[in-house]
């Protein structure tokens, strides 16, 4: 199901989730969404719900794992954390993204 | 390797969709509750906190649909749904169901019958021990059939060691194609049968042997049989030919001396 967004944006969100889990450890969906909003200064996620299909995609690839737990406010929530495979993938995904970003930067730089 | 993991995960999701749906609903509900709590902590009244939480989440239903589409195999699920729908409709309209089944049954039956006929007459090999070793000699015209003189046949037979056996059959002779048969010691009237002339080695070439008595071997000895005075050997050959060969092969042999042996096939 395409959501009309270019693939690179979808990949970007996946990488943001991976990096968030890498730096903060096990988190539930809401915390991940909030963290991404804060780090990106509210420019990236328009709808927090978008995070769930991204979490599903990462789970399907076995890059992250999920288990039910209790939130800091005592509420039952699903917590996500990186798998071993996910840890390895962060490196390659980061390289991929940096390559794309560098290429785009060259195109967008004002021609001298 | 990712695609294998994704495919396996999607297949696994087909097993207990209701449980996964309940899981997802609980997770989304927890998200809204957590967001509402945080908004309340920032001083929003209850109602406003909840509305704001829902707004920042986006469409819950939309997210759920999007999630479900990525979770399973939507095309397979919709196919299963279609099959269920079709089954329900068929149960609801038995008249239509019977008509459709009859139409299908007759169509398939007619096709199968015609194919069986074509298979038996055109595609199936002759019912002899080694049909794949049989060839028809011809010059390529008239569908591989050629007319040869008896002299030519004898010449080929003597000088073509590539063939294990070479037999000849009658080219065309409507005047002589009826043979009057009368079996000795059987209470039946002599009757006419379509016949052909064949060379004496015809049955041996096909690999067909009689269970008793003898099929034709040499020629002149059978000449009298052609005139209705049946003997045991002719009777045996006639019985052979009553089976799968009936009306299929018309066989012929012409002796150089001008004598004929004749058999019904």
Nearest CA-CA partner of A20 in A49, A54, A67, A47 = A54
- Whether B170 and B217 have beta carbons less than 8 Å apart is answered as no
- Whether B99 and A86 have beta carbons less than 8 Å apart is answered as no
Cα B127-B130-B136 angle, rounded to 5 deg: 85
Nearest CA-CA partner of B33 in A84, A100, A76 = A76
pLDDT of B146 > 80? The answer is no
Share of chain B above pLDDT 90, in %: 31
Question: Is the whole model's pTM more than 0.80, yes or no?
Answer: no
- Whether A68 and A78 have beta carbons less than 8 Å apart is answered as yes
- Whether B27 and B33 have beta carbons less than 8 Å apart is answered as no
C-alpha separations of B108 from B115, B120, B123 in Å: 10, 18, 20
Contacts of A79 in chain B (CB under 8 A): none
Q: Which residue has the higher pLDDT, B113 or B216?
A: B113
pLDDT value of residue B226: 38
Question: Is A60 touching B (CB cutoff 8 A)?
Answer: yes
- Write the pLDDT tens digit of every residue in B210-248: 665 555 544 433 333 333 333 444 444 444 343 333 333
Question: Is A83 touching B (CB cutoff 8 A)?
Answer: no
Contacts of B71 in chain A (CB under 8 A): 56
Dihedral angle computed from the Cα positions of residues B12, B17, B18 and B22, in that order, rounded to the nearest 10 degrees:
80
Nearest CA-CA partner of B48 in B56, B150, B140, B189 = B56
- Of A74-83, B72-81, B190-199, where does the model show the most confidence? A74-83
pLDDT value of residue B60: 92
CB-CB under 8 Å, B31 with A75: no
| Among chain A residues, CA nearest to B71 | A56
CB-CB under 8 Å, B33 with A76: no
Contacts of A52 in chain B (CB under 8 A): 24, 27-28, 63, 67
pLDDT value of residue B135: 80
pLDDT value of residue B171: 63
- Write the pLDDT tens digit of every residue in A79-110: 999 999 999 999 999 998 899 899 999 999 88
Question: Within its chain, how far is the Cα of B180 from the centroid?
Answer: 41
- Only one residue has tokens 């080929």, namely B156
**Which range has the worst mean pLDDT, A71-75, B16-20, B196-200?**
B196-200
pLDDT value of residue B55: 92
Question: Within its chain, how far is the Cα of B29 from the centroid?
Answer: 59
- Rounded CA separation B228/B192 (Å): 9
**ipTM entry:** 0.84
Residues 6+ apart with CB under 8 A from A110: none
pLDDT value of residue B256: 36
- Write the pLDDT tens digit of every residue in B160-180: 888 888 888 776 555 556 767
- Whether A78 and A28 have beta carbons less than 8 Å apart is answered as yes
- Write the pLDDT tens digit of every residue in A4-42: 434 446 668 889 999 999 999 999 999 999 998 888 877
Q: How many CA atoms lie within 13 A of B229 on its CB side?
A: 4
């Amino acid at each position: 199901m395409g959501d009309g967004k270019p693939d690179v944006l979808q990949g970007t969100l996946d990488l943001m989730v991976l990096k968030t889990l890498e730096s903060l450890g096990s988190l539930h969906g809401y915390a991940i969404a909030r963290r991404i909003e804060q780090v990106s200064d509210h420019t990236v996620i328009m709808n927090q719900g978008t995070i769930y299909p991204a979490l599903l995609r990462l789970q399907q690839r076995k890059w992250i794992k999920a288990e039910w737990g209790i939130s800091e406010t005592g509420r039952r929530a699903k917590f996500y954390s990186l798998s071993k495979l996910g840890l390895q993938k962060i490196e390659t995904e980061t390289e991929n993204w940096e390559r794309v970003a560098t290429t785009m930067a060259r195109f967008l730089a004002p021609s001298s | 390797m990712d695609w294998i993991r994704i495919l396996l995960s999607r297949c696994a999701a087909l097993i207990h969709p209701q449980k996964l749906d309940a899981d997802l609903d609980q997770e989304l509900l927890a998200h809204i509750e957590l967001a509402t709590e945080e908004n309340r902590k920032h001083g929003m009244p209850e109602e406003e906190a909840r509305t704001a939480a829902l707004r920042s989440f986006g469409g819950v239903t939309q997210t759920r649909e999007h999630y479900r589409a990525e979770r399973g195999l939507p095309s397979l699920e919709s196919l299963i749904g279609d099959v269920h729908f079709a089954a329900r409709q068929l149960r609801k309209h038995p008249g239509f169901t019977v008509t459709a089944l009859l139409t299908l049954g007759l169509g398939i039956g007619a096709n199968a019958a015609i194919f069986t006929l074509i298979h038996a007459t055109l595609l199936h090999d002759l019912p002899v021990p080694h049909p794949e070793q049989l060839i028809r000699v011809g010059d390529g015209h008239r569908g591989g059939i050629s007319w040869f003189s008896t002299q030519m046949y004898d010449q080929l037979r003597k000088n073509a060691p590539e063939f294990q056996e070479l037999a000849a059959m009658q080219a065309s002779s409507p005047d002589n194609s009826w043979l009057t048969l009368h079996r000795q010691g059987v209470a039946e009237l002599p009757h006419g049968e379509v016949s052909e002339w064949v060379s004496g080695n015809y049955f041996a070439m096909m690999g067909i042997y009689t269970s008793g008595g003898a099929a034709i071997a040499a020629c002149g000895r059978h000449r009298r049989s052609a005139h209705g005075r049946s003997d045991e050997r002719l009777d045996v050959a006639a019985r052979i030919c009553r089976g799968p060969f009936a009306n299929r092969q018309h066989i012929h042999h012409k002796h150089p001396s001008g004598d004929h042996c004749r058999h019904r096939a």
